[in-house]
A and B are shown apart, each in its own frame.
Chain A
Amino acid sequence: DAMVIQNPRYQVTQFGKPVTLSCSQTLNHNVMYWYQQKSSQAPKLLFHYYDKDFNNEADTPDNFQSRRPNTSFCFLDIRSPGLGDAAMYLCATMRGASNQPQHFGDGTRLSIL
């Protein structure tokens, strides 16, 4: 049973048109992460939430925003997607304690026309 669910699996949007990706979890984990992964590269952390505490990575573009309305859901908003934002976006969760692994969803593949 999927525990970290990302919707949709594939998303196509137009250059400059805002898009929202969603992530939900049934694990009741208090930490949630968003990663960007481009072809043949490792995932790159964009930001994460520890409960409601939002942490932005220093090099995450301002074009990327996130919302976490409750424990179960987290959203990634791309305000004005550029061609360079085409990538796989991965959501992950973690129980907020030492030595815990992160649990990943299957990702959303974003294409920009």
Chain B
Amino acid sequence: GNSVTQMEGPVTLSEEAFLTINCTYTATGYPSLFWYVQYPGEGLQLLLKATKADDKGSNKGFEATYRKETTSFHLEKGSVQVSDSAVYFCALSDNSGYSTLTFGKGTMLLVSP
């Protein structure tokens, strides 16, 4: 079956530090990959996506590249802000008829001033 593995958190950084959150996946076929962000007390917001190998998704300074050879989709940001503190979920969709999402366990990011 499909699975997503994320690095455990919390990840604690100072403002303006470089961020990497690792994500690897197992899937058959050609899944689409997503990063979602969840702020405290809120639902999930789509941060970025990539639908095929070597695609790079980007949004709000965050980037992730779909690497089929390493089955990875690591999230990066060059300079984090306090407002980036949230839980980040990596997810895949197998693009079957109903496109259900398989989530990683989530990684909490805490950014201090």
Total number of B residues with any Cβ neighbor in A under 8 Å = 23
Contact A106 B42, CB 8 Å, known A31-B98, A45-B101, A98-B95: yes
Q: B44 interface residue, CB < 8 Å from A? A: yes
Interchain CB contact under 8 A, B105 and A107: no
Q: Mark out the residues of chain A between 82 and 113 whose CB falls within 8 Å of any chain B CB in the assembled complex.
A: 90, 92, 94, 96, 98-107, 109
Q: How many Å lie between the Cα of A43 and that of B36 in the bound state?
A: 11
Chain A residues close to B by CB (< 8 Å): 4, 6, 31, 33, 40-43, 45, 48, 50, 55, 90, 92, 94, 96, 98-107, 109
Contact A90 B32, CB 8 Å, known A41-B105, A99-B95: no
Interchain CB contact under 8 A, B97 and A50: yes
Q: How many Å lie between the Cα of A106 and that of B44 in the bound state?
A: 7
Chain B residues close to A by CB (< 8 Å): 32, 34, 36, 41-46, 49, 51, 89, 93, 95, 97-101, 103-106
A33 CB to nearest B CB, Å? 8
Interchain CB contact under 8 A, B105 and A101: no
Interchain CB contact under 8 A, B44 and A90: yes
B106 partner residues in chain A, CB cutoff 8 A: 40-42
